[in-house]
Amino acid sequence: MPKKLVLPLLLALSCCRIFAQTDPSDSIAALSSCPSVYDLFNNPTRIRATTGTYYNPDTLTPSIDSLLNLYNPWWEFEYCRHSKHLLITDTNYTDPYIPSLRTIPSGETASMRLGDLYLGGSSQRISFLYHVDTTVSDMLILKYAAVLEVPNHDFYEQPKFTFQTLDSAGNEIDSLCYSAIFIADSSLGWLEDTIDDYSSHYRAAVLWKPWTTVGIRLNDVHGQTIRIVLTTYDCLQAGHFGYAYFTLGCSLFGIVPDYCGTPDTFAFHAPEGFNYTWYSPSNPDSILSTSRHLYTTTPGTYTCRIHFIGAPIGTDCYTEMNCYTKEAFPRAELSLDTLDTVECDVRFLLHSHNHIFLVENGDTTHTNLPSHTRWILDDIDTLDDLNPIITLDSGLHKVMLLAYLGQDDCFDTITQWLQVGSFCHCHDTIHDTIVQNALPWQALGQTFYTETDTVIFHQGSHEWVDGVVGCDSIYDYHLRIWPNLTDTILYYLCPDNLPFTLNGHQLSTEGCTPIDTLLGSHGEDSTVVACLHILPTSDTTLNDTIVDTQLPWPFLDSLFTDSVTDCIFHLYNEAGCDSTIHYNLHIYWNGDHCDTSLSYPNVVTPNGDGVNDRFVIGGLLENNCFKYNELTIYNRYGRMVYHRRNIHDENDWWAPNKHTPADTYFYYFKAHGINIWTQHRGVIVLLRDK
């Protein structure tokens, strides 16, 4: 069965010494991954751990301890209470003083405790080198919880927990916007409790902070190697302790739409770990929300001012981002890496590339904003981690990635099948690069039509080292294709300029036409395509209806004080094409009235006889009272089958085609005109000849 692995294999000790201080690596590649407490195993040279006095935390270089599980004698845990840099990987472990405080936050698999549980006026520090590449992730996420004894000293003598960001020379980067000091304060969400102090054996008052998230945007330090420094301090007078738990991670900084299509309520989520001020750009003085989330039923543009939590009030440590109520949908994309074998199984690292794409007026924009992610293994096990490590036994396995928005309002899936061999296998990696003209491509007994990164299993295809024939093999096969290139040239012409001759080709209609073929440097074809767009002259009639109190009435560069009929305007586009507008203005003077009566059909028979072939609301087009109107039709399952705004001619009505099933449908109509409005809901039955 598939099973999730999140940690390397560790010794079954409750508290053991795992890390000795080394010089940091200068390799940018070694420092480009997101900093994490797991760097103690995976990348220890980027970490520096020290301990010292209140004024100098860098006096000594200790080792780092690791709390691996909770199934050993009590004396081993007593040793861990003295640990000043303690890695915790048991998600069931709680704080010794505050039992309700879990030492690892929800959603994480490890944390580090900085500081011990005893007095002494000491300080503990740990730092991580990080080369910032904001094209990969542009936000650092610090999650922390702290337990600080209450000494009632002056502000700067109390126990505290600090976060700093230094440049490569060791200088602090913008102490207001990239650093923070966390000192216990009950008015800032810290909780009060009374504990039995282990070192002084008396009842002590503490303030403790539940797990809290702090976000730090990194755009201003792109391309730099920075040092992230975390420090805890006992009180200056050496009579009160302080320690903190923390995790580090990275994410993308952006406002995520969390809805599907065009909903009744639009939901937006700002990045976690900041203070927030939401408002509309058209009314910036009206605050819509101060939480991470904005929920609105009104389409439009909204702005969120995202403040750094650690900055004092009144500083400019904030970013303003706009979001738009466009249609939103999820897109599922995945990749995977083969890691190694565990006993007779194979470990894989799964990568979710799920993202959101937006649609407006038919135009689609793919973003780097992440959607919700869920992995489903062999239709049984589910994982909500973004990039989990899984272990699979031999056989055929199904890996499905689900991308979704909202409460599963809409989703997209992608599936990859993995054929895993037995432990007795030969593992090889093959890279092929071809030109597109070579497709379809034959390799390893399979046919490929597109680029691929896949794992291929061959049964009994290798000779084992001791001469035994029939050993299975696993290939990491990577196929890259030099595509046939297309160079597109756009032409925008008026009808009077047609036909148009280019490179011996006569172009007279809209569309794209290949006009030349070149040979690329890798043997691929390069095609030159001319795309012709005709900007036609148009002859349009526009009608406006107003009341006399709206005079004078502006239209284009004219101002009207009376009704007009067929007033002609000429407009010219960038290509010089002439478009004509016939403008009609009707004014309702005092005493005029509008016939607002409408009739709604209850049956549609689309048989082509000209009677009831369309859904037509009687009187809407004839009386011209409701210039602004909207009609929506749904099937019995609530799916929208028709939607139209501002119906103004017969071709706008719903005309079911031959594929529309005979059934009962529901409609909702709303409209308004000058000082009048109406709405109506009803049922329409679609009948067909048997």
pLDDT digits (tens, 9 = 90+) for 16-39: 444 444 444 446 666 878 898 888
pLDDT of residue 4: 29
How large is the average pLDDT for residues 331-345? 82
Q: Which of 286-290, 366-370, 433-437, 489-493 has the highest mean pLDDT?
A: 286-290
How large is the average pLDDT for residues 290-316? 91
Q: Please, are residues 372 and 331 in contact by the beta-carbon 8 Å criterion? A: no
pLDDT of residue 247: 95
pLDDT of residue 205: 82
pLDDT at 620 over 70: yes
H, E, C per residue of 535-560: CCCCEEEEEEEEEHHHCCEEECCEEE
How large is the average pLDDT for residues 530-538? 79
pLDDT at 56 over 60: yes
629-658 tens-digit pLDDT:
999 999 988 899 999 999 988 999 999 998
By CB atoms closer than 10 A (0-12, 13-18, 19+), residue 147 is buried
For 173, 332, 376, 576, 627, the CA distances from 567, given in Å and listed in that order, are 65, 54, 65, 22, 20
Reported as a pLDDT band with limits 50, 70 and 90, residue 534 is confident
Reported as a pLDDT band with limits 50, 70 and 90, residue 69 is very low
How many percent of the chain have pLDDT more than 90?
A: 28
Reported as a pLDDT band with limits 50, 70 and 90, residue 526 is confident
pLDDT at 105 over 90: yes
486-508 residues labelled b (16+ CB within 10 A) or e (exposed)? eeeeeeebbeeeeeeeeeeeebe
Reported as a pLDDT band with limits 50, 70 and 90, residue 261 is confident
Contacts of 72 (CB under 8 A, 6+ apart): 12, 13, 14
Q: To the nearest 10°, report the CA torsion of 186, 189, 195, 201.
A: -60
Reported as a pLDDT band with limits 50, 70 and 90, residue 6 is very low
Q: What angle do CA 634, 639, 644 make, to 5 degrees?
A: 50
Q: Indicate the residue type of 417.
A: W
pLDDT of residue 460: 47
pLDDT of residue 498: 82
How large is the average pLDDT for residues 609-630? 88
pLDDT at 594 over 90: no
pLDDT of residue 186: 65
How many percent of the chain have pLDDT more than 70?
A: 83
Q: Which of 421-435, 512-526, 568-582 has the highest mean pLDDT?
A: 568-582
455-497 tens-digit pLDDT:
665 544 433 333 333 345 667 788 887 777 777 888 788 887 7
Give kind and range of the element (H or E) at residue 652. Answer: none
Q: Which domains does the chain have, with CATH numbers?
A: 27-251 (no CATH), 256-325 (2.60.40), 485-534 (no CATH), 539-588 (no CATH), 603-686 (2.60.40)
Query: Which of 269 and 7 is assigned the larger pLDDT?
Result: 269
Which one, of 241, 238, 197, 184, lies nearest residue 53 by Cα?
238
Provide the CB-side half-sphere exposure for 190 (13 A, CA).
21
pLDDT at 101 over 80: yes
pLDDT at 341 over 90: no
Average pLDDT, the chain: 81
Q: Please, are residues 617 and 623 in contact by the beta-carbon 8 Å criterion? A: no
Lowest average pLDDT, out of 56-60, 407-411, 659-663, goes to: 407-411
221-250 residues labelled b (16+ CB within 10 A) or e (exposed)? beeebbbbbbbbbbbbeeebbbbbbbbbbb
**Length reported for the chain:** 690
Reported as a pLDDT band with limits 50, 70 and 90, residue 372 is confident
Q: Which of 134-143, 202-211, 413-422 has the highest mean pLDDT?
A: 134-143
What is the bridge-based pairing of β-strands 293-296 and 266-269?
antiparallel
Query: Which of 280 and 369 is assigned the larger pLDDT?
Result: 280
pLDDT of residue 63: 52
Token code pair at residue 610? 């000209």
pLDDT at 588 over 90: no
Token code pair at residue 423? 């432990």
pLDDT at 544 over 70: yes
Q: What is the DSSP string of 439-451?
A: -SEEETTEEESS-
How large is the average pLDDT for residues 571-599? 74
How large is the average pLDDT for residues 282-287? 93
pLDDT at 521 over 80: no
